[in-house]
């Protein structure tokens, strides 16, 4: 029987550079012989991606209730866990996920104001014992992250989704919640200064991976 794989999550608000750094993490692990499964939340499977579309749709014909948003997030997560994450871990793969439940505490908890206890009850129900082995939090000031996001959207000709249209105060609450969680769980989190150059950020990520992965091998 294969040894259980490892579950690494990458967290952070819009504009912090998760996409490029997740690519770096995947290549770093693959170069060391690991099977890597890259995924994201909400989403990761066809049905969960359909839920993602509902969550990100900025349509104004029917505002999405905060409780409905929370339940949709966990519905997508349940499907994602059952059909992709748990099977990959069971066969010994390393799962790299763009956001996971810490994002729910940050966005629906910090941003929307939903009580952490309500999120925790759904977390226990959906995830049972499963939590990430390592969480890399890409952190930078909200104003700087928003400027990066705007530059990226202008360069790609894209439009802001429902979350990206939130006010700065929302993202300040998201960032504060993320940092509070990192402080509370230093054995799982590594906070990365995402405001530095890409080379510096990736050097910090590589150092974190070296430090955390060596004891697992």
Annotated binding-site residue numbers: 12-19
3-state secondary structure 57-108: CCCCCCCCCHHHHHHHHHHHHHHHHHHHHHHHHHCCCEEEEECCHHHHHHHH
In this structure, the number of other CB atoms found within 10 A of the CB of residue 105 comes to 21
End-to-end alpha carbon distance in the chain: 16
- Contacting residues for 213 by C-beta, under 8 A, at least 6 apart: 6
**Rg of the chain, C-alpha, whole Å:** 17
- Contacting residues for 98 by C-beta, under 8 A, at least 6 apart: 10, 18, 19, 22, 38, 39, 40, 41
- The annotation places the binding site for ATP at 12-19
User: Which conformational region is residue 36 in: left (phi greater than 0), alpha (psi within -120 to 50 degrees), or beta?
Assistant: beta
- Closest by CA position to 104, among listed 145, 64, 70, 67: 70
Q: What are phi and psi of 21, to 5 degrees?
A: -80, -30
């Amino acid at each position: 029987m294969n040894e259980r794989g490892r579950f690494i999550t990458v967290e952070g608000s819009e504009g912090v550079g998760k996409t490029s750094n997740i690519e770096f993490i995947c290549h770093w692990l693959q170069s060391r012989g690991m099977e890597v499964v890259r995924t994201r939340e909400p989403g990761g499977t066809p049905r969960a991606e359909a839920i993602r579309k509902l969550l990100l749709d900025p349509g104004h014909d029917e505002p999405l209730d905060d409780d409905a948003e929370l339940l949709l997030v966990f519905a997508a997560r349940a499907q994602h866990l059952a059909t992709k994450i748990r099977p990959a871990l069971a066969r010994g793969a390393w799962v790299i996920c763009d956001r996971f439940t810490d994002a729910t505490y940050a966005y629906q908890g910090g941003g929307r104001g939903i009580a952490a206890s309500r999120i925790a009850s759904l977390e226990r129900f959906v995830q049972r014992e499963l939590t990430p082995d390592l969480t890399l939090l890409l952190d930078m000031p909200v104003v700087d992250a928003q400027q990066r996001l705007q530059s990226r959207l202008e360069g790609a000709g894209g439009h802001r989704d429902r979350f990206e249209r939130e006010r700065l105060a929302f993202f300040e609450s998201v960032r504060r919640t993320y940092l509070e969680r990192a402080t509370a769980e230093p054995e799982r989190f590594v906070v990365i200064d995402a405001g530095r150059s890409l080379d510096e950020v990736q050097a910090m990520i590589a150092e974190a991976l070296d430090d955390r992965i060596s004891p697992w091998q």
